[in-house]
Amino acid sequence: MELFKNLRLNIGKSIFEKKEARAKRKVFYSNFSVTKSIGIVWDASLISDFPALSRFYQKMHEKNIEVKILGYFPGKELPDQYTAVRYLTCIRKADLNFFYQPISSETESFIRNKYDILIDINFKKLFPLQIITSLSNASFKVGLFNSGTSTDIFDLMMEISNPVDVENYLNQIIHYLQMINSGNTNTKTTVQTVNN
């Protein structure tokens, strides 16, 4: 059974790599003060992260920045705190095809949306979320630096020691985005931070 699952996953990765090779995105970031929208890709199995995400949403809302969170939750029933939250959409196994690729209309909409910034909170590198982050049309993508995986999809990478505290991670991202003041679209940056 595990062998069959791995075969399906490998085929899914092969299909994804072809889609990724065809995807075109114009990278652009000028200044955080003009940011209007942020998309967040999140491993929603980490329920303890949700209060930090809610606080982040509230802080950005106060700055008139729209935040949309797309999470992947592997369980059958969503936790109560995830339901009726207008800025959060969770996909589940039923929203994946035979090759573990997300196929829901919510996913397609999220990928097509040209967020000013996309923040990746997929520290376990879950395949469905990797697809969403990679194919997203967001203008500027931020993620965690990991020497063991490809970082080609990120325009800004945060190097934070484990365990990563999501609230600190989000605060550090905003801190460094506020320091950047450039329309340069050709550079990739990695910043080292210290956990608080």
Whether the per-residue pLDDT at 27 is higher than 90: the answer is: no
pLDDT of residue 185: 46
Determine how β-strand 117-121 pairs with β-strand 88-91: unpaired
Domain extents in the chain: 2-192
* Model pLDDT for residues 146-164, shown as the tens digit of each residue: 766 555 789 999 988 888 8
**Beta-bridge partners for 190:** 157
**Collapsing DSSP states into helix, strand and coil, what is residue 80?**
helix
- Read off φ and ψ for residue 85, nearest 5 degrees: -105, 110
* Model pLDDT for residues 166-183, shown as the tens digit of each residue: 999 999 999 999 988 755
The fraction of the chain above a pLDDT of 90, given in percent, is: 60
More confident of the two residues 144 and 6? 144
pTM of the predicted model as reported, rounded to 2 decimal places: 0.86
pLDDT of residue 147: 62
69, 46 in Cβ contact below 8 A? no
Cα separation values, 107 from 88, 103, 110, 132, 185, Å: 12, 7, 5, 7, 26
Count the neighbouring beta carbons within 10 Å of the beta carbon of residue 154: 21
More confident of the two residues 68 and 3? 68
Alpha carbon 118 to its chain's center:
6
**Collapsing DSSP states into helix, strand and coil, what is residue 159?**
strand
Q: 2-192 belongs to which CATH class?
A: alpha beta
Would you call 46 exposed, middle or buried from its count of C-beta atoms within 10 A (0-12, 13-18, 19+)?
A: middle
* Model pLDDT for residues 62-111, shown as the tens digit of each residue: 999 999 999 999 988 899 999 989 999 999 999 987 877 899 999 999 99
